[in-house]
Structure 1
Amino acid sequence: MGKINRLDEHLSNMIAAGEVVERPMGIVKELVENCIDAHAKNVEIQILQGGIDTITIIDDGDGMDAQDATLAFERHATSKLKEVNDLWNIHTMGFRGEALPSIASVSHVLLRTNNGIDSTEVEINYGKLMSAKPCGTPRGTMIEVKNLFQKTPARFKHLKSPQYEFSLISDVVQKFALSHPEIGFNLSHDGRTIFKTRGNGSLLEVLMQIYGRDTAKTAIQLDGSDNDYKISGYAMQPQFNRATKYYMLMYINGRMIRNYHLQKAIMDAYSHYLPKERYPIVVMNMEMDAQLVDVNVHPSKWEIRLSKEKQLEKLVYETISEALKNQLQVPEVKKSELKKEKVEIQEFDFTYEREEPVKKLHDDINDSFVHPQNNPEPIIEDIPLPAPKEIKKEKPVITYPQKSYPTGVRETFVKEKDIKYQTSKKVEPVKEEKKTEPIQKEPVTPKPEKKIEEVKEPEVIVEPPKQEEVKPVLEPVLAKNPSLPQLQVIGQFHNCYIIAQGEKGLYIIDQHAAQERYHYEIIRKQILEGVKDTQPLLLPITIESSISAVSQVDTINAMLEQLGIHLDVFGNNTFIVRELPVWMKDTEEEAFIRDMIDYFEQDNETGIDKLRKHAIATMACHSSIRFHRTLTMEEMKQVIADLGKCEQPFHCPHGRPTLICLSDNDLIKEFERG
């Protein structure tokens, strides 16, 4: 007897399910594709417990008759293909005939369908047909998938939390909405509507719902074509970028795909407009003859093969480059960033009656509090002075704006014109009364001048500092870390590198990398020691994100709360932050938190420790000295001193070196003095 056995149909379906139905997201993808092929105008997706409990999909498409409703659950039964040539000319989303039997083999499925003539209900329990009978149901199809993988424990244990599984479902539904804006999608989770589109054919409206109003209103329309391909869609302005590459969405004839070479063409077109390790947001549909693309590569239908791939890559690059060149906009500062809160300043309010000169003085005092910049120097008004005898009893007080001067150098604060101004102001009222005898007997004018001279003399008699005291001296910066040499700062090169000399030769320090290393260790130490001092925000920060991220807010907070950051859900796709750690005051808070959310969505299968390390490194980078910034000698010494306090001072958190050394021996060889 031979060793080869023919597998029964149920076992074949179970094997196929391993490729088609990896998790609830795969089921939703396959069933929604069937809705699109059935010409549905509205698709409703109801999810319970992340799809692990129940997935219900309702459409208003063509529906099926009683015979097709039962036949659809048999393997390789499909209405999309009839002969071999149809396989090379596919215009539908599905074509393999494996989705429904594979899904039915690992779950409990209930199907109700109506094609306008017949209404049928079919029930299948883990591959076994339970019933097929007439029923009452609206035009279209309803399919319910329950208890997924309950009888396949090896597959069930690999499912993650309901929040994570739903995040994948929401992501794929949004991709369908972007590829088919003419279809209305309604996604709900545990009875709450999460995402909904109107299906009016406006791609910009869907973009606004997913990425926000500011991003969508400046989107650049793509329009390119050649003899074989036609490109349409939108590319976002470079200032709206992301930390991961998963926001470049590509479709071929309305089918969502993954293709590294086309993705690289998009990144090359944006390379002149984006900083390193930032990625654009692009939604691009490529239309072509179905015979130029092979979608029969993998059962999941994410992978494809193109007949003229290089030609399409060139067209993608040229189309996006031309669009950016012609429609690039200068980034606008948000009004909220420029808006200043008006602070009400209480003014002096006197209830008693005042003389006109005194009233004017009070008004000027009030004005000096409201507009202090209008009064940089002291002003003495022409107010009648008291009797001359009273002037002798009070010493005139002269105040001037404070000014900082170098240590050891004193300068006079009294300018000659100020003395004349003050003297004239005080003497003038007295001159009007010179007719009276008391004033002739006791002249008042010389006394104020004499007192002013007494104030001036000690300020003027100051010896200038000696030249030897200003002479620069190269002092070694002592490092606490014994592995780091003692360095003497020489200067700065190209406003990027600090030049210093040490025992072994010439040292070049990357000012940004050095500061980044120091801040990284400071923040890490504070976090590990449990220091989470936070500062409430006067104006909370709102961050628009994806529905998949919002659905995993608890998991994201488990990572961010170790940094002292907590996110609250504000709507279906928005987070709100009400307080931040005090050490984030020098960072771009919104950009930092957005990056952390993006990295979490990219690496959500990685440990929290790895994400936390990346978060601290990003925070340290944002708060460090940048390239092309001029530093004073003291600032350069401080950078080196901070580097010497580090446990590991030789590399930044991203692995780049903080300093390099050009040894004396190398210099001698280069100058041929050896």
Structure 2
Amino acid sequence: SKVKSVADLVGVATFGFRGEALPAIASVSRFTLTTSEGGAATELSVTGGRLDRVADGARQRGTTVAVRGIFFNTPARRKFLRSVSSETRAANEVVTTLALAHPEVGFELHVDGACRLVVPPGQTLEDRLAAVWGSTLAGTLVPVSHAAGAFRVTGFAQRPGDAQPTGRRTQLFVNGRPFKDPFLVRAAEAGYRSAIHPGDRPSLLLNIEVAPEDVDVNVHPAKLEVRFRDRIGVERVVEEAVRHSLGVLAAAVSVGDWRPAAMAQRGDHLAGPVVDGHDLFTPDAPPLDGEASVQPAPGFSVPLLQVFDTYIVYEAPEGVVIVDQHSAHERVLYELVMAQLTGADPPAQRLLLPLTLELTDEELDAVEAHAEELGRVGFEAEPFGGRAVAVHAVPSPHPKFDAEACFRETVADLARGRFGGWANRLERFAATYACRAAVKAGQRLDQREMRELLLRLFATDLPPHDVHGRSTIVQLPREELERRFGRR
């Protein structure tokens, strides 16, 4: 027995063994079992629950179980089987789940003489994912590794920009045991907050490690459900794990063929002071730490290049990094506005002559409904008779900021319900404002402005992704360049 003491009743670390499973299968099939401990092998045959013979066999160390003619002697039970394709899919799901749980073990699946799956033993989880889920899907995943409290979460999560409304794959393990839990999947999706388009469903493979006594695996006949002692804690750690994995540079889209991405810290190659969000792009901002106005700070001496007045390009240790300036500033402003909406008021610029703007009825309703949020970001507006409003103060997130256009576009988006799929009202407003207030594509930036934008971007929680779920950063690996030029 695996139970040696009373404590083992809640702390058995193995998967257990259901002794009635093999006799039950043998009673409704033509069953053969061959087993060996490394020496002589034994083979036994059972037909419909009746032992036919026990004889010597030939096999290396291990066990082979062959089941044929299942339900041949129980035709009433056979009628409840689904179609061949449905039963095949169910069998395939079982084998692929086991293959993902144990990449160190080899698996083969043959259906009607055709090979459906062959994975060799001794694979890494990255290689096993590519073999089981396909290299295309595996190429969109980033590694997850996070520990807090009693839990450790490892695995892979899909980049926000690659998530789709349909066709997603999810697989959960606890201490290597597969299980299903829609609430944990939802907690993982919460880690994508403000980085994914509403309605998109990312693929996930997560393994939760926890002490055996802190999880009960015997709450479902098929062992597909588990019960955690600290339910709130595990959901929090899963959300944190996914969010942390999306915030590192490895989560940025890579140009070229997929290769397993190593875990990297956020902005490892960017050192130096972080510019306050209110000073970002300020023309007369003082030099940082005594630097010249266009000289890079210590630790970030690589030159910056703006191409097409839209993308910032620089050299990183492992390749070339390309940053979309609008998406980057959008991410910076979003997180800044979220802090403003829950904290102190931001600095606002009062106008000598107020802006008088004519709006539609729907836009007037939006201004009234979001008056507090508009004030929090720096807009001071009041009714001016009829459908007009007077704007007395405006924010100034960058020198090229067009306050009137931003106010009109933000109010129009709020009236039309843009980002309407976002459940949180403050997040919905922050995303709308950040999209309209950010520096635009086609606007030229000088060296200091580009550098300050990058420093501020890599200080955010999710630098590789904007609020639409699109990529902020694209990496061109050095090995991909060398492959294209025939050096590899």
| Higher helix fraction (1 or 2) | 1
| Higher strand fraction (1 or 2) | 2
How does the TM-score come out when normalised to structure 2?
A: 0.49
How does the TM-score come out when normalised to structure 1?
A: 0.36
Rg comparison, structure with higher value: 1
Greater RCO, CA 8 A, separation 6+: 2
